[in-house]
Amino acid sequence: MRRKRAKEKSLLFVSRARFAFVTLALTCVFAAIGVRLYYLHVVKNDWSVAITDKVRCRIDKINARRGDITDIRGNLLATSRPIIELGVDPEMIKEDPETNAKLAKIAQIIKMDFPTLKRKCKASPEGTENPVRWRKLADAIDDNTYASILSLKVKGIYGNRKYVREYPSGALLSHAVGFVNKEFKAECGAERLFDYYLRGQDGWRETERDGKRRELAHFRTREVPATDGLNVELSIDIILQGMAQREMKRIVEKFDPKSATIIISEPATGYILALANYPNFDPNNYNKYPLENLRNIAISDQYEPGSTFKIVSIAAALNESLVGPEDRFDCETNTIMYKGRILRLPKEAHKMGVLSVREITKKSSNKGVAHLATMLGENKLYSYAKAFGYGEKTDIGLSGEIPGTLHEPKDWDGLTITRMPMGHAVAATPMQVHCAMSVIANQGIYMQPQIIHRVFDASGQTKINFPSKAIRRVISPKVAALMSDMLAEVVSDEGTARRAAVEGFKVAGKTGTSQKIINGTYSTRQHIASFSGFFPAQRPRLVITVVVDTPRGSGIGYGGLVAAPSFSSIARQAANYMGIKNDEEFEKMVAWKGIVQ
């Protein structure tokens, strides 16, 4: 009995004070928790929900794959390669020796110095309202590298899959293909022209993650799959493009020009088969080149076309039946009477004498074409120049194109009627000069120049076709055939473009040697050399234009010396590649078919 009382007294002594203290402490703790819960769930309910959603809920973007770009034969020119962007959630990184050792290994794998990696993995200061939950560690790593990093099991370091754009052809087709920047924004070329079809449509996934950032798949509320972009097939033939680029390299090594352009196309369709510019750039490393290298010279630079423009006056006079090919003009006289005024005729490189229209074409007489232009008059000369494509964009679709310069007759001065026929007082892009020559090669019809052939899906099925498009008739087929015949004489021993000749083929074309305007006057030292022509002359398959700005070397950079040989070299290679029969073989084939029939 005594023991029982002692025990009760002892328990009562220990329990009352401590019990009261513990009870009070627990009451305060639970009261504080209750107040805090009430504050978070009632008073600050919206803020609490937002923070919880930010931590647990996540909207993941599902990147669409950008479509490929190919040449006409299916060779890959641009493609999207999947890679992994590596990053870190600094709030998940622990500060302990084991984690530091793993981070050191990761630094070695991604080739980043350890102090920099540690700095990126450092969490935001305590109390920061919006702590950083993602810092990029590496732009692009492959699957094997990523697997090595994951094997170290560092919580907070993970990767997101994305795509990078690659250009297997490099600088070979830079201006035609274009490029997309680091943010996948299309900047120029076919990339920009057909960005709508190439880029596709990104998808997204709404989901939740647990405290270890693992996805809780059963909490997914919505998932919209990505739609990959369509593919684009250019009209470019990479083999012909290679020929043009090799010839461009030879031009640069021999003449060290300021710039140069080579264009190859099919006259019957208007499809561009090759487009080479100097200087150019590698779209894989576009940011390492001067901005001027990104300019597509073929459509964004203008120059006075010089004698290549003479086809306009000659063809117009023939088409209007004002003259015939054998009509003769005095190309020795220095003046001409026009609308009651005496006009001074342009100078010649050497004495010409009396020439027929055919000889005016062959010898490229400045005074001869001035005679023809005065017969046409300002309005008809202007309208034919417009019809040949001068003074307006070709609408090829590539960015940066300019319309050139062709003033209306009301803005002409007293000498324009005699100077424009020889390619002065007018400015054109190389593409415009090319399209004008294509009119002659295509029986007098102006074709829309095109660089896109079709848009197709992953299975190869065509979604959008881009057929050839005839814009207008400029001259009659009869006059076009006559012009082809006369331009073929230009590429002869007596013409200005004998170096453009191709053995076995009759070639038609026109040289141009334009004086550059320096400080408001025509320079006697700086020129633009050009040649635009087609072959075979009687059954044109290819139109080739070569323009070389300020070729360095001894003497004047004549088009016949600088540009014509490049035409010949490309045409000869193209004939072998495309299996174009020479004139003798073609005539034998036609004769054999006639006998068989």
Amino acid at 168: P
- pLDDT range class, residue 500, cuts 50, 70, 90: very high
Q: Give residues with Cβ within 8 angstroms of 60, minimum separation 6.
A: 204, 205, 207
Of 127, 160, 193, which marks where a domain is finished? Answer: 160
Helices (H), 121-233: 143-150, 174-177, 189-193, 195-198
To which H or E segment does residue 79 belong? strand 76-88
Average pLDDT of span 136-162: 84
Average pLDDT over residues 403-426: 94
Counting residues of the chain whose pLDDT is more than 90, the rounded percentage is 59
In this predicted structure, what is the pLDDT of residue 369? 96
Query: Is it the case that residue 508 has pLDDT exceeding 50?
Result: yes
Of the candidates 111, 116, 104, 293, the residue with the CA atom closest to the CA atom of residue 188? 293
Residue 222 has pLDDT above 90, yes or no: no
pLDDT at 314: 97
Question: Cα 52 to chain center, whole Å?
Answer: 46
pLDDT digits (tens, 9 = 90+) for 362-413: 999 999 999 999 999 999 999 999 999 999 999 998 989 999 999 999 999 9
CA-closest candidate to residue 505, choices 490, 522, 521, 491: 491
Report the C-alpha gap between 354 and 358 in whole angstroms.
Answer: 12
Torsion sign, CA atoms 145, 150, 152, 154: positive
Q: Structure tokens of 256?
A: 């060290």
pLDDT band at 216; cut points 50, 70, 90:
very low
323 and 447 both lie in a single domain: yes
Give pLDDT, residue 511: 95
Residues 272 and 382 in one domain: yes
pLDDT, residue 53, reads 59
The CATH number linked to 551 is 3.40.710.10
What pLDDT, on a 0 to 100 scale, did the predictor assign at position 111?
86
375 and 289 share one domain: yes
Share of the chain above pLDDT 70, in %: 90
Q: Does the pLDDT of residue 443 top 70, yes or no? A: yes
pLDDT at 427: 96
192 located within any domain: no
pLDDT at 44 over 60: yes
Q: Which of 160, 190, 223 is the last residue of a domain?
A: 160
pLDDT of residue 56: 60
150 pLDDT band, cuts 50/70/90, is confident
Whole-number average pLDDT of the chain: 88
pLDDT the model gives residue 4: 54
Q: Are 499 and 527 in contact (CB under 8 A)?
A: no
Q: What is the CATH number of the domain that holds 105?
A: 3.90.1310.10
Q: Which of 128, 160, 192 is the last residue of a domain?
A: 160
Residue 556, pLDDT > 80, answer no
Q: Is 409 among the domain residues?
A: yes
* CA–CA gap between residue 507 and residue 497 (Å, rounded): 10
Evaluate whether residue 49 is within a structural domain.
no
Asked if 484 contacts 476 with a C-beta cutoff of 8 angstroms, the reply is no
pLDDT of residue 460: 92
Residue 42 lies in a domain: no
Instruction: Tell whether the model's pLDDT for residue 89 goes beyond 70.
Output: yes
Split at pLDDT 50, 70, 90, the class of 30 is: confident
The answer on 266 and 400 residing in a single domain is yes
Domain that holds residue 401: 238-596
Q: Do residue 141 and residue 249 come from a single domain?
A: no
- Looking at the fold, whether 330 and 466 belong to one and the same domain comes out as yes
Q: Does one domain contain both 555 and 448? A: yes
Comparison of pLDDT for 2 and 314, the residue scoring more: 314
Assigned domain for 7 exists: no
Residues 306 and 394 in one domain: yes
Are 186 and 290 spatial neighbours (Cβ–Cβ below 8 Å)? Answer: no
Tell me the pLDDT band of 452, cut-offs 50, 70 and 90.
very high
Are 133 and 260 members of one domain?
A: no
123 and 265 together in one domain: no
User: Which range has highest mean pLDDT (21-35, 116-130, 228-242)?
Assistant: 228-242
Specify the DSSP element, H or E, that contains 498. none
Which residues are CB-contacts of 324 (< 8 A; sequence separation ≥ 6)? 318, 357
Angle at 436 between CA 433 and CA 437, to 5 degrees: 90
**596 against 163, higher pLDDT:** 163
Q: With a threshold of 0.75, does the pTM exceed it?
A: yes
Rounded Cα–Cα distance for residues 293 and 336 (Å): 46
353-367, 415-429, 513-527: range with lowest mean pLDDT: 513-527
Q: With contact defined as beta carbons under 8 Å apart, do 265 and 271 qualify?
A: yes
What are 258-294's pLDDT values in tens digits? 999 999 999 999 999 999 999 999 999 999 999 999 9
User: Amino acid identity, residue 18?
Assistant: R
Whether 578 has a pLDDT exceeding 90, the answer reads: yes
Residue 92 scores a pLDDT above 50: yes
Average pLDDT over residues 295-304: 95
Q: Give residue 345's pLDDT band: very low, low, confident or very high (50, 70, 90).
A: very high
530, 547 Cβ separation under 8 angstroms: yes
What's the total number of domains in the chain? 2
pLDDT of 221: 57
Residue 507 is assigned to a structural domain of this protein: yes
CA angle 343, 348, 351 (to 5 degrees): 115
Query: Do 380 and 250 sit in the same domain of this protein?
Result: yes
In a domain, 34, yes or no: no
Structure confidence at residue 218 (pLDDT):
46
pLDDT higher than 70, residue 596 = no
Smallest Cα–Cα separation from 195: which of 64, 285, 62, 60?
64
| Region 160-164 average pLDDT | 82
Strand partners, 383: none
115 and 242 share a domain? no
**For residues 22 and 209, which has the higher predicted lDDT (pLDDT)?**
22
Position 521 pLDDT exceeds 90: no
The answer to whether residue 455 is domain-embedded is yes
pLDDT of 494 higher than 90: no
Residue 217: which pLDDT band, with cuts at 50, 70 and 90? Answer: very low
The SS3 assignment for 58 reads strand
- Backbone φ and ψ for 101, nearest 5 degrees, come out as -65, -40
